[in-house]
């Protein structure tokens, strides 16, 4: 299926759709069918210059509006997005390959909840406060370049753009090349909602061209990037000469730790579901299951059974739980991790490198459970970004905590226990930006971000607004 809304060839700059200088477009592939279902403009450095200039021109007026007035405009934007919910869902299915339920709940509804959360949190930001003879002001940092990944294209954009716009910044957005269509729908909604010209600008294109031009641009005051740790490091390098602020939400290798008194079947079931969500293409996925040594065999068997129960197939089918990964290249990357692990002695308990039965077309990977892995194995320490879970045993809780913290990442994690007090104590020791206890629900208004190689800065709620603010003190 294709739609007219998915065939695009322009950039959105200064409040209007404009043709690119070179007139080039990129095809958008449906990863379930491998068919081209849409197109996107392929912008260049000239379009970046135009967009930054438009954002800079719009900044004084937008930043000068009272917070409540900005909120009124952005609530209209939220309303326009809600009126397009079904189109956003269909677009997510088409460009990501997410099953319908995942597209509805984890992509679209969560993304809209993030924007709603920012609007609600604006009143809790200390925009002005008195400290002795000083008036401390919180002011928008300026023009923000937002660069987003392909795994959650709507959510990731709103997590950045929503906070920046509530803060009073103006934005130039560069969405992922593989999944630009959701960003086009956001721009449509922005135009319909009457966002002032230049407040939100959309410049799709290649990361090596558009992304790097945006990061290095002297007219950009801040860059907010989500993606791989390697690219995040390059973003920091390119931004350094202009000494602009950089917020990075990068990779993860999160552990789900089952303490000895936990309900093991429930913990394993919850961990498998979280690890496989969005075909494992989630930076905060619990991709490592750590269990007491005397329950390893039981945990492996339970995890394998849970993985095999997950229905893999057509994202439009009502019973599908796992869709394809986003591209042929990503599929090969994921399977390469599994093959190398097996070569090093690991055991595949479920799934593996073979295609799921009956799926000869599309970038499908079977939900995979791997065990008998060395503590220093690549598949244990590096982000796979696919539906792959490793299962390991720990000797005691100190050993389990050390294993949880062993990778260089620190984005998310989980702990399971019959005692909430014990779980909280363990969570305090985990070197990660977010921990869920006994499968607690994701909170779109709580801060999200990482330690160490998982990045810096925070998104969501009031913390995601404050990320885009400068602090000024006025003495009187």
Q: List the catalytic residues.
A: 249, 283
Say how far apart CA 462 and CA 334 lie, in whole Å: 36
Token pair listed for 51: 């967009």
Give DSSP secondary structure letters for 233-264: HHHHHHHGGGT-EEEEE----EEEEE-TTS-H
Give DSSP secondary structure letters for 171-182: EEEE--SS--HH
The gap from C-alpha 273 to its chain's centroid, in whole angstroms, comes to 18
**Pairing mode, if any, of strands 366-371 and 347-352?**
antiparallel
**Pairing mode, if any, of strands 347-352 and 128-131?**
unpaired
Choose among 327, 412, 402, 341: nearest CA to 374.
341
Tell me if 154 sits within 8 A of 458, measured CB to CB. Answer: no
**Pairing mode, if any, of strands 455-456 and 128-131?**
unpaired
Residue for token pair 């000869």? 360
Classify residue 196 by its DSSP letter: P
Tell me if 114 sits within 8 A of 444, measured CB to CB. Answer: yes
Reading across the β-sheet that carries 436-437, which strands appear in turn? 347-352, 366-371, 388-394, 286-292, 254-258, 413-416, 436-437
- Would you mind telling me the total number of residues written for the chain in this entry? 476
Tell me if 144 sits within 8 A of 164, measured CB to CB. Answer: yes
List beta partners, residue 17: 12
List beta partners, residue 394: 292
Q: Which residues neighbour 153 within 8 Å (Cβ) at sequence distance 6 or greater?
A: 92, 95, 96, 107, 175, 176, 179, 180, 181, 182, 183
Tell me if 462 sits within 8 A of 127, measured CB to CB. Answer: no
Residue for token pair 């990964």? 325
Residue for token pair 């095809």? 27
């Amino acid at each position: 299926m294709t739609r007219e809304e998915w065939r695009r060839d322009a950039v959105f700059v200064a409040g209007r759709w404009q043709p690119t200088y070179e007139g080039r477009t990129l095809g958008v592939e449906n990863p379930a069918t491998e068919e081209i279902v849409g197109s996107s403009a392929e912008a260049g450095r000239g379009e970046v210059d135009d967009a930054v200039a438009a954002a800079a021109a719009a900044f004084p007026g937008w930043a000068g509006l009272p917070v409540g007035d900005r909120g009124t405009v952005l609530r209209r934007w939220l309303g326009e997005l809600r009126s397009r919910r079904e189109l956003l869902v269909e677009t997510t299915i088409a460009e990501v390959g997410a099953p319908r339920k995942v597209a509805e709940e984890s992509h679209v509804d969560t993304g809209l909840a993030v924007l709603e959360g920012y609007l609600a949190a604006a009143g809790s930001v200390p925009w002005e406060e008195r400290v002795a003879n000083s008036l401390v002001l919180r002011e928008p940092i300026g023009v923000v370049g937002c660069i987003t990944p392909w795994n959650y294209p709507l959510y990731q954009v709103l997590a950045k753009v929503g906070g920046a716009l509530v803060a009073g910044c103006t934005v130039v957005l560069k969405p992922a090349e593989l999944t630009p269509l959701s960003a086009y729908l956001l721009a449509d909604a922005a135009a319909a909602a009457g966002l002032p010209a230049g407040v939100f600008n959309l410049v799709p294109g290649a990361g090596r061209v558009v992304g790097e031009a945006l990061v290095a641009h002297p007219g950009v005051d801040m860059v907010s990037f989500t993606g791989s740790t390697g690219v995040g490091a390059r973003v920091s390098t390119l931004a350094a000469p202009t000494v602009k602020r950089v917020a990075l939400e990068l990779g993860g290798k999160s552990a789900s730790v089952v303490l000895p008194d936990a309900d093991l079947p429930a913990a394993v079931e919850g961990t498998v579901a979280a690890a496989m969500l969005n075909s494992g293409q989630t930076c905060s996925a619990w991709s490592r299951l750590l269990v007491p040594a005397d329950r390893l065999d039981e945990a492996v068997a339970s995890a394998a059974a849970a993985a095999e129960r997950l229905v893999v197939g057509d994202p439009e089918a009502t019973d599908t739980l796992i869709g394809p990964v986003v591209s042929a290249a990503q599929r090969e990357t994921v399977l390469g991790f599994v093959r190398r692990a097996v070569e090093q002695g690991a055991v595949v308990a479920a799934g593996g490198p073979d295609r799921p039965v009956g799926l000869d077309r599309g970038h499908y990977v079977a939900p995979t459970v791997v065990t008998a892995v060395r503590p220093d194995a690549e598949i244990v320490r590096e982000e796979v970004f696919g539906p792959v879970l490793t299962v390991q045993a720990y000797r005691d809780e100190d050993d389990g905590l050390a294993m949880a913290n062993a990778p260089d990442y620190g984005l998310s994690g989980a702990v399971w226990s019959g005692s909430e007090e014990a779980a909280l104590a363990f969570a305090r020791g985990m070197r990660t930006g977010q921990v869920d206890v006994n499968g607690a629900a994701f909170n779109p208004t709580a801060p999200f971000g990482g330690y160490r190689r998982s990045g810096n800065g925070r998104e969501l709620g009031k913390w995601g607004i404050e990320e885009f603010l400068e602090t000024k003190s006025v003495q009187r």
